[in-house]
């Protein structure tokens, strides 16, 4: 499988990096991202299509689905995770949306490749995952993956017997 690595915005979980490292408070640290993703779980997200940090509007947007098939589109403040907007519509959760485990695997891979601050993550119906963020040198970071890579990595690292 082919990984492309550029330098643009992305997501990863883990220890916090100072948000002031890049252009004031215009980046999302790992600690902030983890807090926002925990809030997303409280809304019932179990499959994810898109995460987007909009710093101009102090907004973090999440699109995805609940286990019962309802499609969710939630916007919350970047700093506190306070709900700004929520919309729902009855749908069928597609199997191409990222599970929490796949999302965490994608973010961990981006972090391992050098992303330190998050901007956006999106998956399409073909399983193409694009993560954008910033590296330590304040350069833009972009990583392209395929959902299948996340499944195999998760099974390989999570299995003690073979």
Domain membership of residue 86 (yes or no) is no
Domain membership of residue 126 (yes or no) is yes
Which phi and psi (to 5°) does residue 132 adopt?
-130, 145
| pTM of this structure | 0.76
Domain holding 15, by residue range, is: 4-53+96-157
Where b means 16+ CB within 10 Å and e means fewer, 98-125 reads bbeebbbbbbbbbbebbbbbbbbbbbee
Structural domain count, the chain? 1
Domain membership of residue 148 (yes or no) is yes
Domain membership of residue 89 (yes or no) is no
Per-residue pLDDT of the chain (162 residues; tens, 9 = 90+): 344 433 333 333 333 333 333 443 446 888 888 899 988 888 899 999 999 998 888 999 999 999 999 999 999 998 888 999 999 999 888 889 999 999 999 999 999 999 999 999 999 999 999 999 999 888 999 999 999 998 764 444 443 333
């Amino acid at each position: 499988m082919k990984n492309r690595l550029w330098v643009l915005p992305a997501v990863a979980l883990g220890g916090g990096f100072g948000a002031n490292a890049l252009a004031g408070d215009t980046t999302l640290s790992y600690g902030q991202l983890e807090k926002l993703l925990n809030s997303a779980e409280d809304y019932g997200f179990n499959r994810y299509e898109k995460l987007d940090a909009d710093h101009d509007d102090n907004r973090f947007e999440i699109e995805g689905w609940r286990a019962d098939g309802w499609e969710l589109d939630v916007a919350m403040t970047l700093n506190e995770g306070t709900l700004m907007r929520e919309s729902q519509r009855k749908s069928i959760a597609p199997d191409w949306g990222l599970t929490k485990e796949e999302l965490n695997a994608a973010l961990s891979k981006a972090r391992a490749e050098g992303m330190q601050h998050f901007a956006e993550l999106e998956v399409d119906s073909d399983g193409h995952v694009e993560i954008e963020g910033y590296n330590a040198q304040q350069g833009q970071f972009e990583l392209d993956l395929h959902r299948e890579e996340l499944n195999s990595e998760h099974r390989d690292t999570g299995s003690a017997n073979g």
